[in-house]
Structure 1
Amino acid sequence: MDTDLARAVLHHVLAGRCRLALHGAGTLELGAGDLALLPTGIRHRLTAAPDAPPPPGTSAPGAPAPGGAPAEVWGLDGAQGGAGVRVLTVRAGYDRRAATPLVSVLPRALRLERARVEAAPLLRETLALLASPGRRPGPGDRLLALRVLETALALAAPPRRPDGPYPYPHPGIGRSVAVIETRYAEPWTVVTLAREAGMSRSAFTAAFREAVGSPPARHLTARRIREAARLLAETGLPQSAVPARVGYRSRVGFHLAFRATYGVTPGEYRAAAPRRI
């Protein structure tokens, strides 16, 4: 088992209201359209009975078993007061090494309100696709689940809230992390990332390194190479098209960066992919 692989769980409430109880660590109230994100897959339970004691576990009766399909729609058991409650559960694995800087500043579970979900077109449309009635699971579900996770993680690293501190020392750092997570294919440089953050290059570089633990260029490279590895392992995209898809204009530069990260060439990585999944 790859010890660098972590697993996140996301619950999107399609109808009704429910409560997510963390194992020994509080609860989240969820309404229709809300999304609960558990970046590290902490043990939890969903119930529609607001006063029911939350027994330990990873799911509610009727929920898909942990480790099942990447995305499943299910209903809370009517015997628990959950009649009419429908939930889309999404699970996705991610590279712990690349995502740790972002995940480390997030709580073990958090709620994205319906308005924020609906304001993010990529997230909203992918969730709707996964939850569409009569849809059958397919080989692309793992890619869709990972895309949902990445977008939700980026949304979960917002600038300053009225009632709380910045998750980063400057709100622009949160914005730059978000664009690296979701818009990595664009031709970013340290200068344009600093401009996105509303900071000078020197101040941005220093603040980013302090908050995230690595320079912005290295973080961007890690994100691009992680996406490239996913494309090589889980899609039939021609290998020659991968560099441009993840933001590289130079194939040589891409190959060097990929080999520096994984110790093998992109072709060797793709050939070994069945043993990596």
Structure 2
Amino acid sequence: MDASTARAVLHYVLAGGCRIAVTGTAALDPSRGELVLLPAAARHRISPLPGLRAVSPPSTAAGGTGPADPADPLGPAVGIAALDGPGGPVRLLSLRTGYDPRAVRPLVAGLPRAVLLERRRVEAAPLLRDTLGLLAEPGRRPGPGDRLLVLRAFEAALALAAGPRPPGAAHPHPGIDRTVAAIETRYAEPWTVDTLAREAGMSRSSFTAAFREAVGTSPARHLTARRIREAARLLAETGLPQSAVPARVGYRSRVGFHLAFRTAYGTTPGEYRAAAPRRA
């Protein structure tokens, strides 16, 4: 992992409840079905509830019992751990991933060091819910695709965390939820601000203002960031011809794609692909 790669950690509670104490911020108490996202892998401790006996975050790979690989600063991509506490057994699915911070800067900016995603929000996000369910399957063995699955879970959780505020917060609007989900999963469609506003069921002006307030950036920039993030993944992780990448992520103009990619990553798509083995 090079210096340009950031780290993230996710903890998904499979059973029971626990306390996650994060350095520099208030502790969180997730229960079954809830997810805690640490977008910068902040230092933290995990304790069972109600007895707060602190333990280290689990680092055991799913299906195994060995320690983390010392050559890998993140540890295994997928880990499942059981904690014993007075309140009953606690089971956690812990995920670790690296990512390029430039690709998700608009989403990460402004997020706290730890974000709790309630069970109803996780269950309402099919991509995140299904990926977590797959990674937590009993008896599942670690595989070469784990890191890609974990990265997909992180991106889905990040989009959810950076999306509209939960009910009770200022200016919630379910249409923004739909739009954020559409951008995350249907980025290749020929979206415009007008069609995104229709997806949200709002006027263009109201939608643009509400989206910026909720997400922290404009709809167009959020869409561009998602498309370019997927393009970077295709270039680095697949053999898809470079000429086919723009259309795959929703660009009709190769020139426009190249300009957007260079703006996001400071390099051309070809140079990014050539450097991918070194990043890996």
**TM category, shorter:** 0.7 to 0.9
How much has 1:182 moved relative to structure 2? Answer: 3.5
The DSSP-based 3-state class of the residue aligned with 1:30 is coil
Identity, % of aligned pairs?
Answer: 69
2:184 pairs, out of 177, 181, 191, with 181
Structure 1 length as normaliser, TM-score? 0.80
The DSSP-based 3-state class of the residue aligned with 1:273 is helix
1:270 pairs, out of 250, 256, 273, with 273
Instruction: Please tell me the root mean square deviation across aligned C-alpha atoms, in Å.
Output: 3.2
Question: Greater RCO between the two (CA within 8 Å, min separation 6)?
Answer: 2
How much has 1:215 moved relative to structure 2? Answer: 4.2
Where structure 2 has 5 or more consecutive residues not aligned to the other structure, the ranges are 62-66
Matched AA of 1:13: V
Structure 1 runs (4+) greater than 6 angstroms displaced: 61-64
Matched AA of 1:156: A
Change in 2 beyond 3 A, CA 1:182/1:106: farther
- Tell me the distance in 2 between the aligned counterparts of 1:4 and 1:171: 35
Q: Which residue of 2 aligns with 1:228?
A: 231
Are 2:96 and 1:104 aligned? no
Matched AA of 1:5: T
Where structure 1 has 5 or more consecutive residues not aligned to the other structure, the ranges are none
Matched length: 271
1:94 pairs, out of 94, 99, 102, with 99
1:80-229 aligned within 5 A: 84-166=89-171, 175-205=178-208, 208=211, 215-229=218-232
Greater mean deviation of Cα atoms: 222-231 or 176-185 = 176-185
Q: Which residue of 2 aligns with 1:48?
A: 48
How much has 1:209 moved relative to structure 2? Answer: 5.6
> Is residue 158–residue 175 contact of structure 1 (8 Å, CA) maintained in 2?
no
- Tell me the distance in 2 between the aligned counterparts of 1:203 and 1:43: 39
- Tell me the distance in 1 between the aligned counterparts of 2:210 and 2:125: 27
2:77 pairs, out of 54, 70, 74, with 70
How much has 1:118 moved relative to structure 2? Answer: 2.5
Structure 2 length as normaliser, TM-score? 0.79
